[in-house]
Amino acid sequence: MLQAIGLTSKPRPNTPPLVDDLTFEARPGHVTALLGEPGSGKTTALRLMLELEPGRGVTYFRGRALHRIPHPGREVGVLLGDVPGNPARTVRNQLRMLCAAAGVPASRADTMLEVVGIAGLRDQRLGSLSLGMERRVALASALLADPCTLLLDEPGAGLSPRERGWLHGLLRGHASLGGAVLFTTDDAKEAARSADRVVSIDAGRLVADQDAADFARTRLRPRVAVRTPHAARLADVLGREARAARRSVEIVAESGSRLSVYGSNCAEVGEAAFRHGVLVHQLADETGDAGAPAVPVPAARTAAGTPPEPDAARTATDTDTGAGSGSEAPGEHPRQIRSGRPASTVRRVGGPLRPLRYELLRVFGTATPVLTAALVVSASVLTALVLARAGQTPQNRLLAAWPELLPLPPAALGAGLLGALAFGEEYRYPALAADRGTVPRRMGLLTAKLGVCAALALLLGALTVAADAAALALVFDSGPLRTPAEWLSPAVSWAGLLIGCAWAGVLASGVFRSATAGLAAVLAVPVMVVPLVRKALEGSSAYPSTGLGARLRGLAWGQWPPEVDRLLAGALRVMAQPVGTALVLSLMVLLCAYGFTGLRSRVRW
């Protein structure tokens, strides 16, 4: 049971709200159409139900508001706008990534591709699909977690009559298993033909809430559909008889052999055709356009011949009663109905239920990491060869391909770019929008992104150093390279630089919601922050930090090996460098900003 109570959008200055005190319900086992002209507030109403739009009112999904449902994606399947995915990602990779977000087995992706009839397109890119195929992918995404309720915004827009028939058959199959289906449309005939109940709105306010039969009888014009090879002759006969009887009859030629007669009935049309000897192939009473017949489809909520997931399968009885779903406490629901808004509650910030698997599928679902690595390695090798040819470059900078003129080496820029894409791609292609907000951010998702980006940065750095060393040895033999006396400290510095750049890109793109802003934050560290730090560190310190390693050894319970002393000394030297200090300060500021903007709990009043 879906109950929308007092939905009212936040009004703009000097304009009425797009949705004003809208109250209706969508029952389990039924398909409900939300009908209205373009601009009447249908999409805004759906966004208010999903708590994606500021406003008042409350929507109950089987007795619970959305912010009180632990895993909203398993309760509500949503189709809003286009397919929320990178056009370069394949259909199967997109669905597998969403499986990780919903916490369902990855095999569910192949199951839903079979259900929506596009199993043969699983390796196609999202950007190469037609509109009809995109709708099928979007429906598969909405059905992945076997939700009880479906909220679909204009699912049949731009589809052919046959595809619309298939779509309505799929929705009818979902409802027949006890699910509640609510879809928006601006076509009254489609609403009457495919829905059990029609909720009509105008300017954001409720106009009528009727059964489909009552809606068709009161809001649509009945007609007589006639098919005859002598359509022009029959139209002339019906017109002459209507004028003779002084009756108002409208005759519309639909095609070469089809007529639509308004203001009459089958008996009158049939008798007129019989009297004048006109052959009739079809004669039927219709309300609106009968459209194409629904195409049989498999059950939408479970795989054909496969039992549903234990935690996702539901019955119609459970849908009606909400048993075992943690309904609201007694007395709370009436108070919320009277006030028109929910009580003060802390919203739970959602996110992928399996964040590490989700992040791995997001990163490797496209060729971006491979292309970035190839570009970085090529630029690094060319830079290293130019530096070696010119001479007078320290070996550490030579292997890193880091000339004095550049703010960062190519590997650090590549690590920052991969980090910036971690959240930048989420905001550009919000795959998690249907679950909660634009990008649901929580500690699990942030930790997964930081861990994956750190691993990618280290892998990119090792690959770059190895490629530079191989190129230098190949072109100049072993001339520019010498066996280093100390390798641990430079390795720690190199790893810290790459991980710091990657993390700065992740946090900045999460704060500013843009991959470009994330990469700009990475470049701002050497360009803007380092000069400030260098100026602040000028001069001698009144309290030097020498001997810190010995003091830390005294605090330890046991005796650590000498390698730890060297590692600690290397880390301290990195921290004392302007670049290291600037990176640490930047990461601290970005982490605080991210926590303030993304991880704080939002309270609804």
Mind giving me the DSSP string for 381-425? HHHHHHHHHH----HHHHHHT--TTSSS-HHHHHHHHHHHHHHHH
pLDDT in tens, 260-298: 888 888 999 999 999 999 999 989 887 654 444 444 444
In a domain, 523, yes or no: yes
In a domain, 560, yes or no: yes
Question: Parallel, antiparallel, or unpaired for β 31-35 and 197-202?
Answer: parallel
From 287, 309, 340, the end of a domain falls on 287
Q: What type of residue sits at position 443?
A: M
Q: Supply the range of the domain harboring residue 581.
A: 355-604
* Whether residue 120 is found in the same domain as residue 269: no
Q: Same domain for 249 and 384?
A: no
CA-CA distance, 456 to 122, in Å (whole number)? 27
Cβ atoms < 10 Å from Cβ of 481: 16
Q: What is the pLDDT of residue 70?
A: 82
pLDDT value at residue 215: 86
The CATH number given to whatever domain includes residue 304 is 3.40.50.300
Indicate whether 349 belongs to any domain: no
pLDDT value of residue 285: 82
Enumerate residue ranges in the chain where pLDDT < 70.
84, 287-350, 432-441, 478-480, 485, 530, 533-578, 580, 598-605
Nearest to 581, CA basis, from 539, 542, 526, 540: 526
* Residue 396 domain flag: yes
Question: Does residue 95 form part of some domain?
Answer: yes
Q: Is residue 59 part of a domain?
A: no
Residue pair 162/292 in contact by the 8 Å Cβ criterion: yes
User: Do 515 and 413 reside in the same domain of the chain?
Assistant: yes
Three-class DSSP category at 35: strand
Per-residue pLDDT of 312-364, as tens digits, reads 334 333 433 333 333 333 333 433 333 344 433 434 445 788 899 999 999 99
Is the domain of 311 the same as that of 363?
no
Q: Tell me the HSE value of 21 on the side-chain side, using a 13 A CA sphere.
A: 5
**Residues 418, 318: one domain?**
no
Q: How many residues does the chain have?
A: 605
Task: Verify that 209 and 251 share a domain, yes or no.
Answer: no
What is residue 605's predicted lDDT score, i.e. its pLDDT?
31
Domain-embedded: residue 125: yes
Examine the domain organization and report whether 199 and 269 are in the same domain: no
Tokens 């302007």 found at: 578
Give tens-digit pLDDT for 193-206.
899 999 999 989 99
Same domain, 497 and 363: yes
Indicate whether 232 and 172 sit together in one domain. Answer: no
Alpha carbons 73 and 510: distance in angstroms, whole number: 22
Instruction: Say which residue the tokens 């429906």 belong to.
Output: 139
Q: In this structure, what CATH number is given to the domain that contains residue 247?
A: 3.30.70
Q: Give the chain's domain count.
A: 3
Same domain for 554 and 509, yes or no, is yes
Q: Is the pTM of this model over 0.85?
A: no
| 341 lies in some domain | no
Which residue type, as a one-letter code, is found at position 306?
Answer: T
Residue 77: name the closest of 48, 46, 54 by CA.
Answer: 46
- Confidence (pLDDT) at 340: 41
pLDDT at 287: 67
Statement to judge: residues 374 and 450 lie in one domain = yes
* Residue 229 and residue 212 share a domain: no
pLDDT of residue 310: 36
